[in-house]
Chains A and B, each alone.
Chain A
Amino acid sequence: MWRTARKVLARLRTPLGALGAFLLLSSPAVARGRVALIVNASNPLSDLTSAELRRIFLGDETRWPGKQKITILLLPQGSDERKALLKALLKMSDDDFTRHWISRVFQGEATSGPKIAPSPASMAKLVAGLPSAVGMLDADDVPAGASGLKVLRIDGKAPNEDGYPLAR
């Protein structure tokens, strides 16, 4: 809550940001505290189940339906969004998740693990630039109308809808 409030206040510093904050706060379905999963706009998928996501993030599923390799992009360790995603989706701590992937890579079960996007802006840029990517952002950080990105619906729910599973 406080984090969202800080973001709203930060956006109020510029006219465009103020406009964004207004739109955000006046939206009937504000997605505060929810983690959005984003994919490249070219990705044909728009809806995934929690189970499918778990398989992807654990490395059990490595390819999109079009056989393209899945590139997992995460925010850096310690970030709230990352922790929230791992807890809500995988019931894992950050350290457990890291150990899981180290184990998979060193046992040869995976060629490489998830990649790090240092910031939400980088995340948006990387996902927009990588057709194979699936990334994460705080739902509030998803640039409105950002080209090249698509927010996935999870279990049929968008981040701003009730019952969305990746809520903090």
Chain B
Amino acid sequence: MIRSSTKTGRFWVLFGLLFALIAFEGALALFVFAAFTRSVADLRTMQTAGMRIDEFGLLLNNFVKEMKVSTGIAHTGAGAAPLPHTAALAEGARALGEVNQQIRSDSLARLLEDVGELRTAVAAYGGKLQEGERDDATIAYIETIEPLADRLMSTDFPDSRRAIFAEVARVGEANRRAGLFARRALALSLVATLAVGLLLGRLMLASLRRAAAQERELEHRASELAIARSIQTSVLPHDLLLPGYDVGAIMLTAEEVGGDFYEFRRRRDGGAWIAVGDVTGHGLRSGLIMLMAQSMFTMLSEEDQADPSPKRLLSRLNRSLFFNLRDRLGEDKYMTMVVARIYPDGRLVYAGAHTELLVYRRVADRVDRISTEGLWLGLVAELPDDSEDREILLSPGDVALFHTDGVTEARDTHGRMFDVDRLAERLREWSGESAAGVVERIAGAAREWAPVPADDISLMAIKRS
């Protein structure tokens, strides 16, 4: 049971782990998808930024070169000349401004600020030219426009471009690392899932195999039990007729074969042999030993001896049983057995060790509890010499009741035993019934006491007519 609980616990732990792993993979996949989408958007933004800054660089370069050509040494005219239009530069700056709203680069912001300043200065320069203030325009050009243009070309633009492409590289690297991490995590998780799945599958397979084996075992045992029960009940005596006596016997088998045994053999002298016993343990082996004891008893009881006594019969039966159990079967089992010889004159001579013999005395209307002392069969090779036959006398109406411990040790749902006192009381109560009636009613009472019997219930009543 403990092993089964451990296995079940392991199964649920693995199942939980598998579920957690699958959930983790789902979350990871979502994260990877979101990160991928975001990284694609980031990369696109940065690529756009890179394209825009390069486009702007061309525009700026063209503007500055053209401006310097207009106003510089190549010009042979009369001083300050009109500067190139800044419209294209303005458009490039506007596009870059859009990009910078997303990437928020300080260097790009500085570039755009200086471009704005340049455009203002160029416009002012144009105004001065229009007003004929060529010298002032030249001064403005030299002092403001050209340094601004130089700063844009030498510092602002390279700084911005460097910053943007560094950001592009950073985003790319971050994406690469995130992707690598996600791939590794996903791969590890998949491997873990596979491993857990395999373990779970193995466990389930083992569980299925175990269940199948258990089912086979149960079928086997059911079959075995059926055989054992059949053996146990098929050898029971049916003919219990004995002149001067009313003999009744019953055996109610439990779910598992208990190894109970009773026998009745009439003798030619008008008497009879009876035996009641119980093999230790349960199951097919106990049933087989019971069958062995029954055979031996039958054989020994049929021997024509001058003065057959229960003690001698038991002694010989013990010897044979001990030999078979220990030497042949190697079994550590033994059995209780009481053997009695009934005489036509009412004497009942008995020997052996078994449960108490209850004797109802009709005249006194009481039940005597007579212990059966001695050694159990199969324990030693030779029964001790001090064991002896005992004798009681049954008067008309008296009832001797042999029983097995399945009767007295039957437990109700509260764990209370049927016990010998209750058995004696029932015997006294139903002593007026036939012997068969006595055993049937007592067996019924015991079965009612313990609806789920743990052991066989066997009873044999000998009522003197």
Contact = CB atoms under 8 A, between A and B. Distances in A.
Interface in B59-92: 68, 71-79
Interface stretch (B24-32, B134-142, B427-435): B134-142
Contact of A122 (B74, B135, B153, B154): B135
A114 B134 contact: no
Nearest to A124: B135
A126 B71 CA distance: 14
B74 A132 contact: no
A112 B78 CA distance: 18
Nearest to B67: A112
A116 B150 contact: no
Contact of A101 (B73, B146, B153): B73
Contacts of B77: 76, 116, 118
A133 B143 CA distance: 10
B73 A102 contact: yes
A168 interface: no
A117 B76 contact: no
B74 A102 contact: yes
Interface in A107-146: 111-119, 122, 125-126, 129-130, 132-133
Nearest to B142: A71
A98 B72 CA distance: 10
A30 to B, nearest CB: 28
A129 B68 contact: no
A122 B147 CA distance: 21
Q: How large is the interface on B (under 10, 10 to 19, 20 to 34, 35 or more residues)?
A: 20 to 34
Main secondary structure of the interface of B (DSSP, over half): helix
A116 B75 contact: yes
B293 to A, nearest CB: 122
Nearest to B154: A111
Contacts of B136: 129
A78 interface: yes
Interface string A81-117: 0000000000000000010011001000001111111
B142 A113 contact: no
A129 B135 contact: yes
Contact of A117 (B79, B143, B154): B79
Contacts of B141: 115
B139 A98 contact: no
Contact of A113 (B72, B76, B139): B72
A114 B150 contact: no
Contacts of B147: 69
A111 B141 CA distance: 14
Contact of A118 (B78, B142, B150): B78
A62 to B, nearest CB: 11
A119 B76 CA distance: 12
B68 A105 contact: yes
Contact of B135 (A77, A112, A114, A125): A125
A118 B146 contact: no
B337 to A, nearest CB: 125
Contacts of B74: 98, 102, 113
Contacts of A102: 73-74
Interface in B413-457: none
Given A98-B74, A102-B74, A118-B134, A112 B79 contact: no
Contacts of B72: 101, 105, 112-115
Given A111-B150, A117-B138, A122 B79 contact: yes
A130 B150 contact: no
B76 A112 contact: no
Given A130-B142, A133-B142, A115 B71 contact: yes
A77 B76 contact: yes
A12 B76 CA distance: 31
Nearest to A125: B135
Contacts of A125: 135
Nearest to A121: B135
Residue with the greatest number of chain B CB neighbours at <10 A, chosen from A69, A78, A112:
A112
Contacts of A98: 73-74
Given A76-B77, A98-B74, A118-B79, A112 B146 contact: yes
Nearest to A114: B73
A113 B75 CA distance: 11
A130 B143 contact: yes
Contacts of A105: 68, 72-73
A102 B76 CA distance: 13
B158 to A, nearest CB: 13
B76 to A, nearest CB: 4
A126 B150 contact: no
A113 B72 CA distance: 6
A116 B79 contact: yes
A76 B78 contact: yes
Given A105-B68, A111-B154, A115-B142, A126 B73 contact: no
A61 to B, nearest CB: 17
A126 B146 contact: no
Nearest to B81: A116
Contacts of A115: 71-72, 138, 141-142
Closest 7 CB pairs of A and B: A118-B79, A113-B73, A118-B78, A77-B76, A101-B73, A129-B139, A113-B72
20 contacts: A78-B76, A102-B73, A105-B68, A111-B154, A112-B68, A113-B68, A113-B72, A113-B73, A115-B72, A116-B73, A116-B76, A116-B77, A116-B79, A119-B79, A126-B142, A129-B136, A130-B139, A130-B142, A130-B143, A132-B142
Given A105-B73, A111-B154, A132-B142, 19 more contacts: A71-B142, A98-B73, A101-B72, A102-B74, A105-B68, A111-B68, A111-B150, A113-B68, A113-B72, A114-B72, A114-B73, A115-B72, A116-B73, A116-B75, A117-B135, A118-B78, A118-B79, A125-B135, A126-B139
